[in-house]
Structure 1
Amino acid sequence: MKVALLSDCYLPRLGGIEVQTHDLARHLVALGHEVEVFTATPGPEGEMRGEITVIDGIPVHRLAIRLPWELPVNPLAPRELRRRLTGGGFDVAHVQTGVVSPFAWDSTRVTIGMGLPTAMTWHCMLGPVAPGFGAVGFVKRWAAKGVAMSAVSAVAAAPLRELVGPSASVSVLPNGIDVARWRLPPSGPTPTTQSSEQESGPIVVHSIGGERQADRPSLTAQPSEQEMPLRLVTAMRLAARKRPRALVKLVARAEQLAGRGSFSLTVLGEGPDRGKVESHLADEGIGWVSLPGRVSREELRARYAAADVYVSPSALESFGIAALEARTAGLPVVGRSGSGIGEFVTHGQGGLIVPDDAAMAGALAGLAVDRDRLAAMRRWNLEHPPEQDWPHVAALALAEYERAIELSTAPGRR
């Protein structure tokens, strides 16, 4: 099968859709399929206006134009996209979309107009904006014309089903990860007993004024697990939607409940709200938060192995790839109800699902003093790998392509 993957954003930009689209392409190729990517994102050397770059053997058509901040927008792309898709011999198009995805939506209009079977996956929570989508009606029209609709989680699919109506179905096509890459041995030591620089010497906690050393008993008087700070970690884009400042505030509340020195927090990632987070830390005199920036997948796995709990404060998390990776590495995950994290974390088993920030602060405080419960959750995660492994997800994607082909040939669909 020859597949066209269409996405506003793609590598070298880094984000959920970008990485997922690339990983999906790689796994489809590994299964013997032919894949080409079409995007409005410039290439690593600024390639645009139809130039083709190759990443991991996959051709990437850079239908981008020069815009401020390299915005992945190109209203001139449809004509050239139609020409390339028409001459490319593609069997199916797979559109990746979010709440605002002008290139993806233009691509869908092109593929529908061509009669090319089209699958569309939504990587967002439509809840707050669903009424607007319902008013303009284009999503329902696309479904009526045979576009195979899917979303990355059941909670993301629910408002989409309301939009398309009872005459069309919406599948769940989850994000995927390489489970073997993230999984740690079930028999391995837990983070609180691993030998590492943090356990064998002073903890270095990054603060706005530079570095400071936390108090640490000497090796001759080793602290018990209950006396050690609970090491919290998260990986997120430092943007308002991900709520990094709210996370710091709720952990501070948890510290009030559990006692001073109960937590350390590492926030991995970059984004426009970094300055606001740093200002808040400076204003409040908080020195137990570390902001290392964006790190590689290898370092991310190492940091998960050295942490105790993964925290996800976002209420609008359609899936939660980083949380799934952390859960696969064994970390208990504390996340919000109504988010996609509930797809792979069962409350009380592999983590805790809570309704709001106050409940999240209480949950963290409880784990800080109940390390036996924490260890039990970790063991469960390590002994039960998640089902969102790439071979499974790629098979689901291929099933969506077959569904798109069937819908495109149904009477009256085109």
Structure 2
Amino acid sequence: MKVALLTDCYLPRLGGIEVQSHDLARHLVGLGHQVEVFTATPGPQGERHGEITVVDGIPVHRLAVRLPWELPVNPLAPRELRRRLTGGAFDVAHVQTGVVSPFAWDSTRVTLGLGLPTAMTWHCMLGQVAPGFDAVGFVRRWAARGVAMSAVSGVAAAPLRELVGPSASVSVLPNGIDVDRWRPVEDEATRHVPSPHSSGPDVPSPHSSGPDVPSPHSSGPDVPVPGSPRPPLQLVTAMRLAARKRPRALVELVARAELLAGRGSFTLTILGEGPDRRKVEAYLAREGIGWVSLPGRVSRDELRQRYAVADVYVSPSALESFGIAALEARTTGLPVVGRSGSGIGEFVTHDVGGLVVPDDATMAGALAGLAVDRARVARMRRWNVEHPPEQDWPRVAALAVAEYERAMSLAAVAGRR
């Protein structure tokens, strides 16, 4: 099968869609398929205007123009894209899209105009913008014309199903992960196993909801501070430092957790870069907070090393459509504390591989409880190590191929109308 992978953003930009698109292309090739990428992102040496670069053996058509901040936008791309897709003898197109993806949407109009079977994967939470999409109606029209719609998680798929209506189906095509690459080695897996003398029960009482769930009439649990000193619980997260990811809110809720669990109960490492770095740094300086570090963006190898020495991964975003960084952390064994209603629930079961909580106050209480009950942390870590996630790339690539076959069937039906 020859696949045209169409995405606004691609390497060398770094982000969820960029890295996932690259990894999907590589694994499709590993299955024997041909893949070419079409993007509005310039190449590593600034390649634009249709120049083709090769990334890990995969041709990448750089349909980019020079714009401020290297924005991946090119309203002139459709004509050249149409010419290349027509001459490329592609079997199927796979469009990667977010809330605002002008190149991806232009690409969809081109592929439909050519009668090329098209799959489209949504990497976003539509949330408050769903009524706007419903009003303009183009997503519903695309689905009616045979576009095989999918989203990266069940929570991301739900509003999309409302948009396309009952006559079309929306699949879940999750993000993928190289499980073997992120799986901990033996010494990492055993480093966090508590000693027989560690405090805290290994399994919470079946008659209580655990220290992470506060009373509905209180702002958080009353967590006792143990008499003997203990090392701080090392929290880690990887995120873009932007308002949607809520880095400052994370610092505030961990500070609240420290009030509950006792001074010196936590350290927090926030990995990543973004426009809100200065705001977060100014807040830390103003509040005199010294237990937060901001190392910036790190490589995948260093990210894995940092996860290996941490205790818990925290994801404060309520608008996380999937949470690939959290999945990577969970694969290394880290218990993940995240928000309900986000994509975290696709791979974290509450009080099994982590904690899934409804709001910041509950998350603060959950972290305070884990700071006290290290055996509970170890139990969740052990479960994660012994149960690798289902989103391994071989399975995800096979699901993608199934989506392509579905797109071909839908295109055939649409062509007979």
TM-score in terms of structure 2 length = 0.91
Alignment of 1:339-358 (within 5 A): 339-358=342-361
Structural RMSD (CA): 1.6
Residue aligning to 1:231: 234
- In the alignment, the residues of structure 2 paired with residue 138 and residue 191 of structure 1 have an alpha-carbon distance, to the nearest angstrom, of 51
Q: Is the counterpart of residue 56 in structure 1 residue 36 in structure 2?
A: no
Match of 2:95 in 1: 95
The answer to whether the 8 A contact 1:98-1:123 is kept is: yes
AA aligned to 1:116 is: L
Equivalence map 1:137-156=2 (5 Å)? 137-156=137-156
On the 8 A contact 1:118/1:148 being kept in 2, the answer is yes
Q: Would the aligned equivalents of 1:183 and 1:330 in 2 still touch at CA under 8 Å?
A: yes
Q: Size of the alignment, in residue pairs?
A: 386
Deviation of the 1:191 alpha carbon: 3.9
Matched with 1:363 is 366
Q: Which amino acid aligns with 2:190?
A: P
* Partner of residue 71, structure 2: 71
| Alignment map for 1:280-295 (pairs within 5 Å) | 280-295=283-298
CA shift, 1:411, in A, is 4.6
Query: Where do residues 6-155 of structure 1 align in structure 2 (5 Å cutoff)?
Result: 6-155=6-155
The code of the aligned residue for 2:296 comes to G
**Which aligned segments of 4 or more residues in structure 1 are displaced greater than 3 angstroms?**
185-188, 191-194, 411-414
Q: Aligned to 2:234, what secondary structure does the other structure show?
A: strand
| 1:237-275 superposed Cα distances (whole Å, 9 cap, x missing partner) | 000000000000000000000000000000000001000
1:326 paired with 2:329, answer yes
Cα distance between partner residues in 2 of 1:244 and 1:299: 20
CA distance in 1, matches of 2:329, 2:296: 17
| 2-structure distance, mates of 1:413, 1:364 | 57
Contact 1:145–1:413 (Cα < 8 Å) also in 2: no
Report the AA paired with residue 66 of structure 1: R
Distance verdict in 2 for CA 1:174–1:229, change over 3 Å: same
SS class of match (2:355): strand
* Cα distance in 2, alignment partners of residues 142 and 116 from structure 1: 13
**Cα distance, 1:190 vs. partner?**
2.7
Query: Any idea what the Cα deviations from partners look like across 1:24-62, whole Å, max 9, x if unmatched?
Result: 000000111100000000000000000000000000000
1:263-302 → structure 2 map (5 Å cutoff): 263-302=266-305
**Letter of the structure 2 residue corresponding to residue 278 of structure 1:** E
| 1:185 CA displacement | 3.9
Counterpart contact for 2:194–2:375, Cα < 8 Å: no
- 1:123 and 1:171, CA in 2 relative to 1: closer, same or farther beyond 3 A? same
Task: State the SS of the aligned residue for 1:4.
Answer: strand
CA contact (8 A) 1:226 1:369 kept: no
Q: CA deviation at 1:184?
A: 1.1
Identity %: 84
- What residue identity is the alignment partner of 1:308? D
Q: Which runs of 5+ in 1 are unaligned?
A: 195-223
The corresponding residue for 2:217 is: none
CA distance in 2, matches of 1:127, 1:301: 31
Q: Any idea what the Cα deviations from partners look like across 1:291-311, whole Å, max 9, x if unmatched? A: 000001111001000000000
Q: Check if 1:407 corresponds to 2:402.
A: no
Cα gap change, 1:345 to 1:225, in 2 (>3 Å): farther
Name the CA distance, whole Å, in 2 between partners of 1:189 and 1:266: 22
Displacement of 1:128 after TM fit?
Answer: 1.2
For residues 413 and 145 of structure 1, the distance between their equivalents in structure 2, rounded to whole angstroms, comes to 11
Q: Which stretches in structure 2 are left out of the alignment for 5+ residues?
A: 196-226
Tell me by how many angstroms 1:189 deviates. Answer: 1.9
